[in-house]
Amino acid sequence: MAEGSARRLALVLLALSALPALAAPPLPAPIRGMTDEAFAECRSAGGAPSLAADYARPADLNGDGTEDFLVDFVGLTCAGADGHFRGPDGFPVSVWLSGPGGHVRAWSGTALESRLETETDPPGVIVRLAGASCDPPGTGACERRLDLAAPAGAGAASGRPGGWSLRAAPGPAPVAVAPMPGPLRDMALFCLSGRPFLALMPAPGASLPETITLSFRFSDRTLTATARHEATAGEAHVIDLATTPLAQALAGRDSAVDVALGEKPLGTLSLAGSSKAIRGALEGCLRF
């Protein structure tokens, strides 16, 4: 990277690092209550509870414009009482859908694994069940796509909350910023010297190698991008967006995308509001 561009990149990322971290969407009251009860149960078993990024994964599952949640206790750590919530058939899993009276539990059970299916619109939920819960019951595990109906009386929402926003930064153009799952704090997309870049800021205390590989599983394709630690950018890792269609995909029609760091799944990145934010940030340096 040229010396002048490197200095400007350092200024942009320094300004971004000084901004407060973007808050994840708050959990609805029923999920908070369930989580509080689980924390109390963990403590009574002698454990110390904490949540991972994949505990509650947001996605608009019923198409009403409001975030729903897939909650999987595999993301609830009970240190000191490991395995407290795991049974022979897996961990407790529940799906919460939005409605006019708030979020309601549309499905609950025990599953070996759960994931969001982002290839459909609206997204779906896939659970991997132990053989005894399959139809017909058997000795091997099976996968099931949940049939999720919207809560009675659900209607279209006036707007869908999302984590993407446009923020001011040094230079003439704003920066598109979104919270990231896992050991990454924020993702930022911006123009620099007429070229589009994506910067990843690590979460406090996270340690990342010089080069990291991220995979984004969209509905029509999976994109892989390499981010390199930029010496002039503090702890940030940077992707040159001129060499990948990643920005166009993030600003596309999907409502969410599953993200992995190397072979490790990080969780789901909401794309609510991404199109407006990314296009606003990159309109001067990238063709959509």
Residue 155 clears pLDDT 70, i.e. is over it:
no
Residue 4 clears pLDDT 60, i.e. is over it:
no
Q: How far is CA 133 from the centre of its chain?
A: 29
What is the CB-side half-sphere exposure of residue 85 using CA atoms within 13 A? Answer: 29
State residue 157's pLDDT score.
Answer: 36
Average pLDDT over residues 51-68: 84
State residue 282's pLDDT score.
Answer: 96
Residue 265 clears pLDDT 70, i.e. is over it:
yes
Q: How far is CA 116 from the centre of its chain?
A: 11
Which of the two residues, 267 and 245, has the higher pLDDT score? 245
Q: How confident is the model at residue 19 (pLDDT cuts 50, 70, 90)?
A: low
By CB neighbour count within 10 A (0-12 exposed, 13-18 middle, 19+ buried), where does 189 fall?
buried
What is the CB-side half-sphere exposure of residue 186 using CA atoms within 13 A? Answer: 22
On average, the pLDDT of the chain sits at 83
State residue 234's pLDDT score.
Answer: 62
Structural domains of the chain, with CATH: 3-24+162-282 (2.60.40), 29-145 (no CATH)
Which of the two residues, 179 and 160, has the higher pLDDT score? 179
Element (H, E) at 35: helix 29-44
Q: How confident is the model at residue 151 (pLDDT cuts 50, 70, 90)?
A: very low
> pLDDT above 70 covers what percent of the chain?
82
Q: Are strands 91-99 and 68-72 parallel, antiparallel or unpaired?
A: antiparallel
Q: For residue range 164-222, list pLDDT tens digits in order.
A: 888 876 666 788 988 887 677 788 999 988 999 999 988 766 778 999 999 999 999 99
Which of the two residues, 168 and 130, has the higher pLDDT score? 130
Residues in the chain: 288
